[in-house]
Amino acid sequence: MSATDAAEAPQTDPTPESESHSLQRSRKRFGDSFFRGLSTGSGILILLILAAVAAFLVGLALPALLADKETLQFGRGQSFWSYVWPYAFGTMWSAILAMVMAVPVAVGIALYLTHYAPKRVASTFGYIVDLLAAVPSVVFGLWGIAVLAPAMRPLFLWLNEYFAWIPLFSGQVSGTGRTIFTASVVLAVMILPIITAISREVFLQTPKLHEEASLALGATRWEMIRQAVIPFGMPGIVSACMLGLGRALGETMAVAMVLSGSGIVSWKLLTSQNPNTIAANIAQSFPEAHDIGRNQLIATGLVLFIITLAVNMTARWIINRRKEFSGAN
């Protein structure tokens, strides 16, 4: 055999080891391509579903948006926007009250579970918080009617007696306790596990070097949390709050069961005259709706869809701005 044949032999007859390497490479490339295609397809599918929902709402809402005042089934004699405004107000008002009550408690629980509680206690309470998120909304509604509303009435009387000079607590106290304040407490309990779980995971991602550096400089544990943990986790806290706010805005059954509301605009928290939410009004009014009435209720659903979308877009803008600010510093 000549020297030329000997030099060409390794190139024409690859070894089994080189074949296995090329096969592994091809499998990795196939896996990467498959996962990339799956991820891209999933993102496109989400956009298509969102566009389909928007098209459905717009298509069925147009007859009500273009109808005359006298042809509307609900709120006859007034325009659609005059009809939907009190329900939009009630939706935002109840969600804001729920966020005011839930966010400080949720962040405090997350900080306790991640930086103060022993591991066994933290794991046990973490499971309890996660299980709380799995409770159906109708159970919260029953709890709000049977337990929370009667228990809240003495508090309402006390607030009305000593703080009636504040417009929020003025007026005749409801005899049943089924007020916008009670519904907001139920909403706060419902969104509490969502905000707590996400905040807890975000706080656990804080770099240990940042925490140890703060403690090494003489900071107390709370000062370390304030200087290192909370600034690092602020984008995650904002995301958790926006997810909780979205749940509060769209909640239906619990609010419909607890709140005895109507289409009014009122800031008072303790009276029997309460604003209603869009979702609860749809659930309560849809069985008796017909023809243009159904289009009218779907149009209010379109308003709720726009409100929720605007809230989430605002949250995303805030998070991106904070990331840009942190990167610039």
**Percent of the chain residues past pLDDT 90, beyond the cut:** 32
> Are 273 and 266 in contact, with CB atoms under 8 Å apart?
yes
What average pLDDT does the structure give for the chain?
85
First to last CA, the chain: 70
- Percentages helix, strand, coil for the chain, rounded to the nearest 5? 80, 0, 20
- Nearest 5°: phi and psi at 75? 65, 40
In the chain, the largest separation of any two C-alpha atoms, in whole Å, equals: 110
pLDDT in tens, 197-237: 999 999 998 888 888 888 888 888 888 999 889 988 888 89
Q: Predicted confidence band at 3 (pLDDT cuts at 50, 70, 90)?
A: very low
The three-state secondary structure class of 282 is helix
Q: Predicted confidence band at 304 (pLDDT cuts at 50, 70, 90)?
A: very high
Kindly tell me the burial class for residue 227, based on how many C-beta atoms sit within 10 Å of its own C-beta (0-12, 13-18, 19 or more): middle
Strand partners, 275: 262
pLDDT in tens, 14-38: 555 555 656 566 666 777 788 888 8
C-alpha 58/C-alpha 28 separation (Å) is 45
Could you tell me which of 125, 135, 153 has the C-alpha nearest to residue 247? 135
Q: What angle do CA 54, 322, 93 make, to 5 degrees?
A: 50
Residue 1 has a pLDDT of 47
Is 169 a residue whose pLDDT tops 70?
Answer: yes
Is 92 a residue whose pLDDT tops 90?
Answer: yes
Q: pTM of the predicted model, to two decimals?
A: 0.84
Residue 163 is encoded by which pair of tokens?
A: 């703080």
Q: How many CB atoms lie within 10 A of CB 168?
A: 14
Is 321 a residue whose pLDDT tops 80?
Answer: no
> Are 87 and 300 in contact, with CB atoms under 8 Å apart?
yes
Q: How many CB atoms lie within 10 A of CB 133?
A: 14
pLDDT in tens, 172-201: 888 888 999 999 999 999 999 999 999 999
Average pLDDT estimate for 133-160: 90
Residue 99 has a pLDDT of 94
Strand partners, 274: 261
